[in-house]
Structure 1
């Protein structure tokens, strides 16, 4: 899905000017890639965050620069650690017909059967790299763990490949599993040993 973001071209000026823009709710930005000249921009922080919250970081953003419409993705961002204010953002221009690689969040859905039987559900990876044309990039990859029993796992090879994108990570990469905690195993082993020890009888 593509959304539209209003941008303004700006001159590359001293840092003090950038600080003034930030105080006005604007984020200094730069657009580059796909044969588009590096262009300094400003965008409304409010509008940008609204798009990202509603559609995610992998959504295609259409902007008008130099009188032409450009499709782009959000690239690197600089965010203040304490205030959470956006200090700078890159926009990467894309060709809608060419595949690109991005990361997508892994989200586990449903309750694993094994977790209900005393096991512990473990999420092994939280992001996967996917390849697709920009309009098919997922924001997240949902992994259904409902049928996982204790000792079972889901790997990249088990995930659906019929969603318009390809997962680049190794097929054997483990995504989620249901395990028995080590202390539980040790307790069971200790209990078994105690039961097996013969009772000493004194003469």
Structure 2
């Protein structure tokens, strides 16, 4: 759960533009915009290492306690822009939240355990969307398939939510499907079909 509040100091940004953002990143800072609750957007800088550590240890739904101009402000990461090659956090949007307030967030589904022998576990959805108190956000939901037989399906409705949370995703959203694993004979039939098809094509070409 997101009950551990992560403290991060901030610096108010006074320079803007791509050049100033690049300088900030070179100096180990992440440009950020804090907004919400009808407040004026505030442009901030976060310590890149501290922010990355919070995300790594507690996930992208981590509840943050920001020190902004000497005052504390609760916030949630709303969007995190990461460079596709360097994986450096380039920018983040932060949403102002208040204690007791509910927010809508996406929670990852973590499949654990081994299904019954002779089965194949397929994942159809990696997350579900819920509404939950900002101070009670789960890091993920574990979905156990231990010993599950072929023909079993798990939907969003099968996930146990925290007290007071509401499922936003369609309850019938398929998360995990356990099916019979293909056998060697099944694979052999496919290969034979391919070979027969190729032979038919070759015969057709020979007759042209």
Q: Could you say which TM-score interval applies, normalised by the shorter chain?
A: 0.7 to 0.9
Residue pair 1:12, 1:40 contacting (<8 A) in 2 also: no
Q: Give the TM-score normalised by the residue count of structure 1.
A: 0.83
Map of 1:105 onto structure 2? 108
Runs of 4+ residues over 3 Å off in structure 1: 161-164, 181-190
Structure 2 CA distance for partners of 1:32 and 1:60, relative to 1, 3 Å: same
Count the aligned residue pairs.
187
Distance of 1:184 and 1:152 partners within structure 2: 23
Extract unaligned runs of 5+ from structure 2: 191-208
Distance of 1:185 and 1:165 partners within structure 2: 47
- For the aligned residue pairs, the C-alpha RMSD in angstroms reads 2.2
Quote the offset at 1:181 in angstroms. Answer: 4.7
Structure 2 CA distance for partners of 1:159 and 1:184, relative to 1, 3 Å: farther
Quote the offset at 1:15 in angstroms. Answer: 2.1
Map of 1:173 onto structure 2? 173
Distance of 1:9 and 1:42 partners within structure 2: 6
Residue pair 1:34, 1:95 contacting (<8 A) in 2 also: no
Map of 2:12 onto structure 1? 9
Distance of 1:159 and 1:19 partners within structure 2: 42
Map of 1:148 onto structure 2? 148
Extract unaligned runs of 5+ from structure 1: 191-203
Quote the offset at 1:12 in angstroms. Answer: 4.0
Map of 1:201 onto structure 2? none
Residue pair 1:137, 1:165 contacting (<8 A) in 2 also: no
Distance of 1:186 and 1:104 partners within structure 2: 37
The answer to whether structure 1 residue 55 and structure 2 residue 55 are counterparts is no
Map of 2:159 onto structure 1? 159
Q: Give the TM-score normalised by the residue count of structure 2.
A: 0.81
Distance of 1:79 and 1:157 partners within structure 2: 32
The answer to whether structure 1 residue 118 and structure 2 residue 118 are counterparts is yes
The answer to whether structure 1 residue 135 and structure 2 residue 135 are counterparts is yes
